Chain A
Amino acid sequence: MNDVITPKDTKSVERTVQWAIAEGKTLELVGAGSRRTVGRPTQTDLTLDLHALAGVTLYEPDELVLSARAGTPLAEIEALLAEKAQQLAFEPMDCGSILGGMAGGGTIGGTLAASFSGPRRLKAGAARDHLLGFHAVSGRGEVFKSGGRVVKNVTGYDLSKLMAGSWGTLAVLTDVTLKTLPRPETEETVLLRGLDPAKAVAAMAAAMASPDDVSGAAHLPAQVAALMPGAEIAGAGAAVTALRLEGFAASLPHRKSMLQARLRSFAAASAVGPAASRRLWQAVRDVTPFAATGNEVERPLWRISTAPSCGARLAESMANEADADMIFDWAGGLVWLRLEPSADAGAALVRRLLAPLGGHATLVRAPASVRAAVDVFPPQDAALLALTKRVKESFDPKGVLNPGRMWAGV
């Protein structure tokens, strides 16, 4: 185990990074450690534990803005927002289920560093769209900031976008400012049963192309639906396609009947009310059918983003080649793919089948030995990899922060 440094303020983070540069040491950045096993296994000299850098520093509900230290538990922020009937609209995923950690364990810094957004991403945007500004310590050991606390801001480069999804390889986030939004008054979910992935994706496309304002569109094949919470889904004995409507109680019944009528040609539609709908979408968000219980942790899990129509095509080609289970979120554009254990976790197969379709695949769960042997993050062509390396060097020239976590040599 590494020695652990637990700074309580930005100054200590700055000095730690400066020390690491001077001594030629490397640092692993950890918040709550809830996504620690994502990425290539790295050998660092020390662990920089940021959980003590915690606390909400500003929350102005009328201004739709919240600032917090990066180590603040996500659960604390979500509870605070809920008191004012607000939320983080990108529906941050809780990785506890798929990685075998505790539920509700992540920090806000880790949430942004990973940038795994939930079902509402297709309507409300991703984590990157809700990070308004931040303070950080670069891999050069320098404190810097970018953005601000207002939504409309084009002053300088939008470094918030770059920080989101950079997995701590560019800078140590110390403070973040987020856009908050009203929590919908209520929600319901329209369900279609018995569709194959191709028909389901077509139904979801029709729903997304309607003016009914759908805020979640997922398809659960029969064997996956059986593992979902709630009798309406698990007891269906068939594939379930789910379409979420959120908003004001005054207009929801109208929107629901419009959507059901629109989808009649695909399958008879039923619906579930707010409580069952919430359970369903939390399970989709956290991918609970592929939870890491027992031996499941050995089964590789892929997170694939592609054009929605390609989700179904990927399912067809995959069915001919492997024993695979899939969940389709984002109207078909986000595919969670679980395979049987193998030496490369199916990396060659997944990337071969995805190449003609476009998009990218990340190996979110696999044994460390496998993650050390294959590309966990999407491999990049030569020009893009060269640019990626130059970007990394512009923030972290000595490779101090999470070196090699995303790609070897970055």
Chain B
Amino acid sequence: MSLKLPTDESTLARRDEIVAMLRSIVPGEGVIATEAEMRPYECDGLTAYRQLPMVVVLPDTTEQVSRVLSLCHREGIKVVPRGAGTSLSGGALPLADGVLLGMAKFNRIREIDFANRVAVVEPGVTNLAVTQAVEHAGFYYAPDPSSQIACTIGGNLAENAGGVHCLKYGTTTNNVLGCELVLIDGEVVRLGGKHLDAGGYDLLGIVTGSEGLLGVVTEITVRILQRAECARAVLVGFPSSESAGECVSRIISAGIIPAGMEMMDRPAIHAVEEFVHAGYPLDAEALLIVEADGPEAEVDYLVGRIESIAMSCGAGTCRISRSEQERLLFWAGRKAAFPAVGRISPDYYCMDGTIPRARLPQVLARMREMSEQHGLAVANVFHAGDGNLHPLILYDANKPGELEKAETFGAEILKLCVDVGGVLTGEHGVGVEKRDLMPTMFSEADLAQQQRLKCAFDSKGLLNPGKVFPTLHRCAELGRLHVHAGQVPFPHLERF
């Protein structure tokens, strides 16, 4: 990280007083101030970065959140919001001079409304718990990030979480309808509700994926969907990533949008097969899992089409799941890909770029060259349907310099994604991890406009500073307008 925020010594000097003020808002165990008890909060899923917060506060009502934020706003204290702490980009990394605002106590499901196909939940409810609360009636919540057993809906909203089924069912932003949002000055606003679309500016749309920089969400309304009648998966091995990529393109050209379409390269296939024994073909260079869901008649038809497309693309092996058990086994390998790689390497660094699908063979070839240059192996799992790539760089943190080498390699991969027309992050967020790479994708003007929007929500820059943006500007400076006086454009412009 090149940008290390200067620690605000005057805030730190007032720590005892700040803790006391917080205790007057959130009583008892809701304020944590001892080092031992704060230790669990020192990092999130990006464990390479660690920092103890000044103090942890765990409110359990909207009013408490409002009063905590209002206090911090008045006193000029930074705030880092946190859900379950599963961010892979350091989105919840604490600040030494900041309050860590944990939302874990907001863990109630407030309302399930089957007639309108929505659930109203608190942000600390886990992703999977939403599905569990509605599945008795055949419903589920569609976004399914790999961490769904632990990650919370509030964090999902902050990061616009995706998952393996978002090709067909969308990411978080396509599945939330409303939220209650507390602004940094303590003001509470409601965005959306049980209805579709905004009546004014779509502020819910920008709060979703804003990585905790715009406000703190205290209630979320999500859409729930009826589960498809059945689902079947096709497991295909290819002799090259080119032929696998060709198969993906032809499936989409045939007008088929599968429920999921996942790819793995040879190193990932081998790591997974040794771990899970899912029956993956070890002679394949690329493996594709394509899932079709819907009414049985439709699924039968689609898996037949997918199989014939796969064979015409030169598939070496092609198996269609014959039972729900077998379908889950096909997926078990993919879902265990990260821990499987964790078994063959002391450490791994998970990247998250998105590329236009057709560029996959080119990107994989270039990545193999980089892998040799850096002397670090890489295994690839890939949401093939939507172009979201997860290269896992294998390294050993105990060897001096390897973490830095892995980070350099990772940054090169992400720049490559941008060079071929893609983006830095598909679903893990910018956080602290990719913050300094933002200028590879955005101009100064692009970033300044995003930061001006931040100023509209948080003029003092107190919410999660140091995340997303590589340089911090004061709002007054960003708002200054440079007037180009005297330039009359009419002579140059067509008029009628």
Interface residues of A (CB under 8 A from B): 3-8, 12, 15-16, 18-19, 21-22, 52, 60-65, 85, 115, 117, 121-122, 125-126, 128-129, 138, 140-146, 148-162, 164-166, 170, 181-185, 205, 208-213, 247-248, 250-251, 254-255, 258, 305-310, 330, 333-334, 358-362, 377-378, 380-381, 383-384, 387-388, 390-391, 393-395, 397-398, 406-407
In contact, B354 and A152 (Cβ under 8 angstroms): yes
Whether the Cβ atoms of A153 and B201 lie closer than 8 Å is no
6 cross-chain pairs, A with B, having the tightest CB-CB distances, nearest first: A161-B205, A360-B199, A251-B298, A378-B199, A182-B255, A152-B426
Which residue of A12, A205, A394 contacts B452 across the interface (Cβ within 8 Å)?
A394
CB of B173 within 8 A of CB of A161, answer yes
For B27, list chain A residues within 8 Å (CB). none
Q: Contacts A18-B487, A149-B356, A306-B195; is A211 near B226 (CB within 8 Å)?
A: yes
| A213 to B259 alpha-carbon distance, docked (Å) | 13
**Cβ of A157 and Cβ of B453 under 8 Å apart?**
yes
Residues of B close to A209: CB separation below 8 A: 114, 117, 137-139, 226
Would you give 10 A-B contacts (Cβ < 8 Å), ordered by A?
A15-B489, A21-B481, A22-B485, A63-B356, A65-B356, A149-B421, A162-B206, A165-B201, A258-B295, A387-B203
Q: Contact check, B423 vs A148: say whether CB atoms are below 8 A apart.
A: yes
Contact assessment for B426 and A154 in the assembled complex, using a CB-CB cutoff below 8 Å? yes
Roughly how many angstroms separate A117 CA and B198 CA in the complex, as a whole number? 12
> Quick check: A362 and B199 within 8 Å, CB to CB?
yes
Given contact pairs A156-B450, A158-B173, A162-B205, a sample of 6 additional A-B residue pairs in the complex whose CB atoms are under 8 Å apart: A12-B492, A22-B483, A153-B423, A154-B426, A360-B198, A383-B187
Interface contact B301-A250, CB-CB below 8 Å: yes
Chain A residues, Cβ within 8 Å of B229? 211
A391 touches B494 (CB 8 A): no
Chain B interface bracket (under 10, 10 to 19, 20 to 34, 35 or more) = 35 or more
Using Cβ atoms and an 8 Å threshold, which residues of chain A touch B447?
156
Q: What's the nearest-Cβ distance from chain A to residue B258, in Å?
A: 12
**Which of B202, B252, B354, B495 has a CB less than 8 Å from the CB of A182?**
B252
A22-B485, A121-B196 are known contacts. Are A251 and B173 too (CB-CB below 8 A)?
Answer: no
Q: A122-B196, A333-B196 are known contacts. Are A6 and B493 too (CB-CB below 8 A)?
A: yes
Contact with A along B408-421 (1 / 0, CB 8 A): 00000000000001
Are B228 and A211 in contact, with the CB atoms below 8 A?
yes
CA A65 to CA B496, docked complex, whole Å? 34
Closest to A304 in B: B195
Is the CB–CB distance between A359 and B193 below 8 Å?
A: yes
Verify B205–A128 contact, CB threshold 8 A.
Answer: yes
Smallest CB separation, B218 vs chain A (Å): 14
**Docked-complex contact A142 and B445, CB < 8 angstroms:** yes
Q: Does B194 contact A (CB under 8 A)?
A: yes
CB-defined contacts of B443 to chain A, threshold 8 Å: 144-145
Contact B456 A390 (CB under 8 A): yes
Measured CA separation A309–B115 after assembly (Å): 7
Q: Which residue of chain A has the shortest Cβ distance to B429 in the bound complex? A: A154
B313 at the interface (CB under 8 A from A): no
**A282 CA to B249 CA in the complex, in Å?**
31
- From the candidates B138, B202, B301, B388, name the one contacting A251 in the complex (CB within 8 A): B301
Asked if B489 and A85 make an inter-chain contact with CB atoms under 8 angstroms apart, the answer reads no
Q: B86 near A: Cβ within 8 Å? A: no
Cα distance A362–B195 when bound, in Å? Answer: 14
Shortest Cβ distance from A175 into chain B, in angstroms? Answer: 14
Q: Cα distance A164–B201 when bound, in Å?
A: 8
A22 CB contacts on chain B under 8 angstroms? 483-487
- A359 contact from B195, B387, B496, Cβ within 8 A: B195
A129, A254, A255: the one within 8 Å of B174 (CB): A129
Which residues, 247 to 304 on B, are CB-close (under 8 Å) to A?
A: 249, 252-253, 255-257, 294-298, 301-302
Give A184 to B450 CA distance when docked, in angstroms: 37
Interface contact B206-A383, CB-CB below 8 Å: no
The residue among B202, B210, B454, B481 with the most chain A CB atoms within 10 A of its own CB is B202
Q: Is the CB of B294 within 8 A of A62?
A: no
Q: A250-B298, A333-B195, A394-B455 are in contact. Are A162 and B358 (CB under 8 A)?
A: no
The residue that A156 contacts in the complex, of B253, B430, B489, with Cβ under 8 A, is B430
Whether the Cβ atoms of A384 and B189 lie closer than 8 Å is yes
- In the complex, per-residue mask of B435-451: 1 if CB is within 8 Å of any chain A CB, else 0: 00010011101111110
Residue in chain A with minimal CB distance to B475: A394
Complex CA gap A53/B298 in Å reads 43
Are the CB atoms of B257 and A182 closer together than 8 Å? Answer: yes
Which A-chain residue is minimally distant from B215 (CB atoms)? A387
Chain B residues near A250: list those with CB within 8 A: 297-298, 301
Nearest-CB distance from B283 to chain A (Å)?
28
Chain B residues whose CB sits within 8 angstroms of the CB of A18 once the complex forms: 483-484, 487, 489
Contact at A388–B200, with CB atoms within 8 Å?
yes
> Which chain A positions have C-beta within 8 A of B429?
154
- Interface stretch (choices B13-21, B52-60, B159-167): B159-167
Interface residues of B in 126-148 (CB under 8 A from A): 137-139
Contact with A along B206-231 (1 / 0, CB 8 A): 10111000000000000000111100
Interface centre among A153, A254, A333, A390 (most CB of B within 10 A): A153
Chain B residues within 8 Å of A378, by CB: 199-200
Task: Assess whether B489 is in contact with A150, with CB atoms less than 8 Å apart.
Answer: no
Question: For A397, what are the chain B residues with a Cβ–Cβ distance below 8 Å?
Answer: 479, 481
Cα–Cα distance between A146 and B448 once the two chains are bound (Å): 12
Contact of A248 among B118, B301, B354, B453 (CB under 8 A): B301
By the criterion CB–CB under 8 Å, are B202 and A164 in contact? yes
**Nearest CB on B from A161, distance (A):** 2
- Are A395 and B426 touching (Cβ within 8 A)? no
Contact of A138 among B139, B449, B488, B489 (CB under 8 A): B449
B457 near A152 with CB under 8 A, answer: no
Is B461 interfacial (CB 8 A cutoff)?
Answer: no
Residue with the highest number of chain A CB atoms closer than 10 Å, among B196, B301, B443: B196
Instruction: Say yes or no: B453 contacts A159, CB within 8 Å.
Output: yes
Contacts of A121 in B (CB 8 A): 196-197
A383 and B187 CA atoms in complex are apart in Å by: 7
Q: Does A19 contact B201, Cβ atoms closer than 8 Å?
A: no
Q: Which residue of A lies closest to B296 (CB)?
A: A254
Chain B residues with Cβ below 8 Å from A148 are 354, 421-423, 441
Nearest-neighbour CB distance to chain A for B461, whole angstroms, equals: 14
B479 CB to nearest chain A CB (Å): 7
B389-417, CB under 8 A of A: which get 1 and which 0? 00000000000000000000000000000
Judge whether B295 and A211 touch: CB under 8 Å: yes
User: Given B189, B228, B297, B426, which contacts A153 in the complex, CB threshold below 8 Å?
Assistant: B426
B462 CB-CB contact with A under 8 Å: no
Complex CA–CA separation, A361 to B468 (angstroms): 36
